[in-house]
Amino acid sequence: MPQALADLKVLDLSRVLAMPYCSMMLGDLGAEIIRVERPGLGDETRHWGPPWVGELSAYYLCTNRNKKAITVDLKKKEGQEIIRQLARRSDILLENFLPGDLARMNLGYEDIKAINPKIIYASITGYGQTGPYRDQPGFDFILQAQGGLMSIIGEEDGPPMKVGVAIVDITAGLFVSSAILAAVHYREKTGQGQRIDMGLLDAQVAWLANQASNYLVSGRVPRRMGNAHPNIVPYETFKARDGIYIALGVGNDNQWKKFCKIAQIEHLMDDPQYATNPKRVENRKKLVPLLQEVFLRKDSGAWLQLLGEAEIPVG
């Protein structure tokens, strides 16, 4: 059976992670991906090891499946002409150069649109194509800090922490892949291409989700809470008798009642301090230590089985 995007040709001028992740998603759905790298070193992530698979880093391989790679020197006129010829035959062009860099090579959006009006031209940069920070390079780690994510990651009394994977890069790539699918649909209806502009900061701020809306509604700055949830209790990790931590997610009051029965703490089930989620959130500092003592009564395997059989989210 043909894949959904098998009729699309993608010219990928990007490097590192964010946009290569996007092109990998399109390739997984069947699009033909032509990946352009620098002569000699290629993409810098080829060398981000160990570990290695032959001469390639595992990092490089994690985002570059289902692609055909070529080398082109974009600093030379001949290389720029090769890109223009490829762009004429492409449906989508992907890039993550600093704003203006490709335009100075006559490979910017307006240049490519002039030779291929139906092109979908997508860019990922640190801060977008406009604004006071447009010329600043952007890295996932920096945007996690600058965009507020690190202020809510880590233990309550600990320093800011980053997420263990480059979640801003990956999110930006996913957002752009979604925007490209919308642009393809629009082009089928109108015959017109699109310009897609994604900043890593845009992706990071979107990640704040309920933490951002909580702040906008209450005016209270979100804080680090370890593995706890700002709006749901109990929704965090607990240490079992065998020293292994398990994650418990009691998402509603019905699950709370079932949990109390299984944990043999029925006296807390209808306690006015804990009977509803808003009350449990209000009284979390009293409730969580009580629950931790309960979890120390059994090994992790027993809790996983008991709670899993009761369809209470646990892992």
Q: What is the pLDDT of residue 161?
A: 96
* pLDDT exceeds 90 at position 305: yes
Residues designated as active site: 169
How far apart, in whole angstroms, are the C-alpha atoms of residue 209 and residue 47? 35
**Where does residue 280 rank: exposed (0-12), middle (13-18), buried (19+ CB within 10 A)?**
buried
Q: Does the pLDDT at position 5 exceed 90? A: yes
- Dist CA 274 CA 282 (whole Å): 9
Domain span holding position 18: 9-207
Across 97-113, average pLDDT: 98
Segment 5-21 mean pLDDT: 98
C-beta separation of 196 from 183 below 8 A: yes
pLDDT in tens, 254-294: 999 999 999 999 999 999 999 999 999 999 999 999 999 99
pTM score, two decimals?
0.90
Query: Does 276 share its domain with 154?
Result: no
Same domain, 178 and 35: yes
* Tokens (6 digits) for 283: 């009284």
What is the average pLDDT across 205-219? Answer: 95
The mean of the pLDDT values for the chain is 97
Name residues whose C-beta falls within 8 Å of residue 229's C-beta, 6 or more positions apart in sequence.
235, 236
Rounded to an integer, what distance in angstroms lies between the CA atom of residue 44 and that of residue 47?
6
Residue 220 resides in a domain: no
Is the pLDDT reported for residue 155 higher than 80? yes
Count of domains for the chain: 2
Phi first, then psi: give them for residue 194, nearest 5 degrees. Answer: -145, 155
Distances 114 to 34, 119, 166 between C-alpha atoms, Å: 21, 10, 35
- Domain shared by 158 and 21, yes or no: yes
Both structure tokens of 105: 């090579």
Q: What is the pLDDT of residues 28-85, one digit of tens each?
A: 999 999 999 999 999 999 999 999 999 999 999 999 999 999 999 999 999 999 999 9
pLDDT value of residue 2: 80
38 and 162 in a common domain: yes
